[in-house]
Amino acid sequence: MNLIQLEPYRTTDELKAEIQRLKTEKKAVVLAHNYQRPEVQEIADFVGDSLGLARQAARTEAEVIVFAGVHFMAETAAILNPEKKVLLPNLNAGCSLADTITADDVRAWKQDNPDGLVVVYVNTTADVKAEADYCVTSGNAVAVVNSLPKDRKIFFAPDMFLAAHVERQTGRKLDIWLGECHVHAGIRPDDIDAQKAENPGAEFLIHPECGCASHAIYNFPDTPLLSTEAMISHSRQSEAKDFIVVTEIDMVHRLRREVPGKNFIPVNRTALCEYMKMISLENVYETLRDLNNQVTVPQEVAEKALTSIERMIQIG
């Protein structure tokens, strides 16, 4: 009779110690998105937004990249590092926004607009990026669109709220795909109004993916829309002590770690991405231990997508 050897239960501290040991042993780096669980952020070598993580993936000398994020982020890292192992601790960690558009949707627009330019948000699959001229994040979308020829039609996909922000900032009319992030779309104007009533002296930190952004701009006209990375720099420089954070709830953890002495209030404690939360300390540890859950992109797709991704990294 064969007995299955079970690993002993590990405490959080033991898991963290084992992950640190395995990173050295396997010559690995752990990249974590701002929306990851706090304990996952704390064992990462770098925590950031999609643009920052892409830049780190492009420059790392590690042989193994463990991406504590969602599937499209691991795909991007794999495209930038074809010679390295890119691992996603939970292969079911997808993205509701990325799922709103396919490569066929982009090809259909290109067929109708052969002289147009395609700009896609980084929250898209590799297949979609392969059909794009430019890839962007919330941090550089305005800069990218501003850099494009004024006489070219632009298709912007898939987030309609980020697209509306880009239109306001650039003054350009875009062809907009009507996609949304379910977390950001779920933050309502009532959430903003309620938190402002409770914290009248607080400043807003509002992500441009939020469906409530137009309401905030109209009712609080001095409020900027900020990428998650810009939230860090803005709150450091601001004289305000209190901030209402209008994005996924675990951005608050990073803000509290990196900007001590200030108070960060989540606008809605149910603004939680269940896909990001699929990554746990346990599966980060197991992935490092076994070097499994590798994410790969077909060479033909990767080669086509690389151009738009490199442009994203270079601009803004």
State how far the Cα of 272 lies from the Cα of 249, in Å rounded to an integer.
6
**Which residues participate in the annotated binding site?**
33, 50, 95, 121-123, 138, 181, 207-209, 228, 273
Residue of 121, 65, 128, 135 whose CA lies nearest to 295: 65
Helices (H), 33-186: 38-43, 50-59, 71-80, 103-112, 126-129, 141-146, 160-170, 182-185
State how far the Cα of 42 lies from the Cα of 51, in Å rounded to an integer.
19
**Which residues participate in the annotated binding site for [4Fe-4S] cluster?**
95, 181, 273
**Which residues participate in the annotated binding site for iminosuccinate?**
33, 50, 121-123, 138, 207-209, 228
Residue 177 exposure: Cα atoms within 13 Å on the Cβ side: 27
State how far the Cα of 238 lies from the Cα of 259, in Å rounded to an integer.
11
Residue 186: helix, strand or coil by DSSP? coil
